[in-house]
Amino acid sequence: MKIEVTKKGNESSKNLIRRFSSQIKRINILRKARNNQYHQRELSDQMKKREALRKKKKREKYRRLRKLGEL
């Protein structure tokens, strides 16, 4: 979403910035941007299965090493 603020007559820079800030707050642009900042796409089913298998293998390897006394 694009916001454009132009200086009116002999308006001060502070007023211009205040108007710009109020428009951003009114449209909720900042809140939307912060919500999407750390958004991660959901994994596909195949990727979830791969990740589960990888974790399972790692867990089994750790248990085996622990049992053998190598850890």
Q: Tell me how many helices (H) and strands (E) the chain has.
A: 3, 0
pLDDT value at position 30? 87
Residue 63 above 90 pLDDT? yes
Residue 39 confidence class, pLDDT cut points 50, 70, 90: confident
pLDDT value at position 70? 86
Burial of 13: CB neighbours in 10 Å, binned 0-12, 13-18, 19+: exposed
Taking residues 25-30, report their average pLDDT.
89
Q: What predicted TM-score, i.e. pTM, was given to this entire model?
A: 0.48
pLDDT value at position 40? 87
Q: Provide the strand spans (E) within the chain.
A: none
